[in-house]
Amino acid sequence: MVQRLTAKLEKLGLEWAEKAPLAPYTSSRIGGPAQVLVRVFSEAQWLRLLPVLWDLQASFWVLGGGSNVLIADAGVPGLVVHNRYRAWRWLQQGDEALLWVASGTGLSVLARQTVEQGYAGLEWAVGIPGTVGGAVVGNAGAFGGDMAGVLVEVDLWHRERGRETWSPADLEMGYRTTRLKQGEPAVVLAAVLRLYRGDPEALRRRVAEYQQRRRRTQPPGASVGSMFKNPPGDYAGRLIDAAGLKGTRIGDVEISPLHANFFINHGQGTAYQVWRLMRLAQERVARQFGVWLEPEIQLVGAWPPEQVQALMVPDARSVRP
């Protein structure tokens, strides 16, 4: 299968490599190699690649900015498609503006540029790593804003139905989740966002204030950001801290002493070390407070199924009903 696949990639004129390290493309700098890694830089390349993958019935995984995933130490079998399709343009400007953006565009850079041009709507996104595609999939958000609040529609390629336009309602966007994050087999190609004209000076001030809050509360260093979703009415970081786990270290990975929902890779950290710390946090918090911490990040690649199960499925014995 891999040989048939790489022969096709060659024919399509795409840039690809076998046994390609993925850690450098993640914000945690953790994870094993992709069996095959291909880079896609344009819509034309996506539209050439996708039908071929569908025909071959090849399973593949899309990597955006790698800032919300924990890739297994054993890597990712099969094909990883690295989305480098970056572009954006105004469809309409005025008091109400429409922005078209390719899915591989960096969210934070886009947000900064729209603020600089005097448009409100993405101030919350300055400082969030990753791509617009990843932000749509996870309904990224901060400081009361999120993708659901600005998204008009997405242009995607669905495994069974081909190219479609989906509304936010079709995506079923919830707190850090969508149908795509729940496993709907589709690739986000582009999105249309609605922004509003604002006072550039006021927008800049708001961004500066958010950034200051980030710097004060979020630790620097390699991480995937928030490990767990905040449970209703509480904060994952507060609970992990109250369970006495701030500063706990396994190997090269540490639960940050500054913010307990951030796990920092000090250099040679492994995915298994992160997994062990996540389990420790889940078990302690469940035992002490009866609260299940649901991972915000996704486990990707060759994880033993029982490790995925342990992290993703609440343990009924330890959590209060």
The site for ligand FAD (CB under 6 A) is made up of 27, 61-69, 83, 103, 128-131, 133-135, 137-138, 140-142, 176, 180, 187-188, 218, 223-225, 298
Catalytic residue among 28, 39, 67, 176: 176
Q: 120 or 224: whose CB is closer to ligand FAD? A: 224
Provide, rounded to whole angstroms, the least separation between the CB of residue 65 and ligand FAD. 3
In the bound state with ligand FAD, the residue whose beta carbon lies nearer, of 114 and 286, is 114
Measured in degrees and rounded to the nearest 5, phi and psi for residue 262 equal: -110, 130
CA distance 82 to 197: 33
CB nearer ligand FAD, residue 129 or residue 198 = 129
Per the listing, tokens 């996704």 go with 298
In the complex, least distance from residue 107 CB atom to ligand FAD, rounded to whole angstroms:
6
Residue from 28, 226, 254, 284 carrying the catalytic annotation: 226
Q: Who contacts 257 (Cβ-Cβ below 8 Å, separation ≥6)?
A: 219, 246, 247
Cα angle vertex 315, ends 141, 224, to 5°? 30
Min CB(153)–ligand FAD separation in Å: 15
In sequence order, what DSSP letters do the residues of 202-269 get, joined into one string?
A: HHHHHHHHHHHHHHHHS--SB--S-SBPPPTTS-HHHHHHHTT-TT-EETTEEE-SS-TT-EEE-SS-
Q: In sequence order, what are the beta bridge partners of 92?
A: 98
Cα separation, 16 vs 34, in Å, equals: 11
Pairing of strands 69-71, 298-300: parallel
Query: CA-CA distance, 196 to 198, in Å (whole number)?
Result: 6
* Minimal distance, residue 176 CB to ligand FAD, in Å: 6
296 a catalytic residue? yes
**How many Cα neighbours within 13 Å face the side chain of 255?**
25
Q: To which residue do tokens 């791509």 refer?
A: 131
Nearer to ligand FAD, 277 or 286 (CB): 277
Which CB sits closer to ligand FAD, 112 or 176? 176
DSSP 131: B
**C-beta of 69: minimal distance to ligand FAD in Å?**
4
The residue from 123, 153, 254, 296 that is catalytic is: 296
Whether 251 and 269 have beta carbons less than 8 Å apart is answered as yes
Of 141 and 295, CB closest to ligand FAD? 141
| Cα-Cα-Cα-Cα dihedral sign, residues 212, 298, 106, 137 | negative
Minimum gap (Å) between residue 321 Cβ and ligand FAD: 29
- Which residues are marked as active site? 176, 226, 296
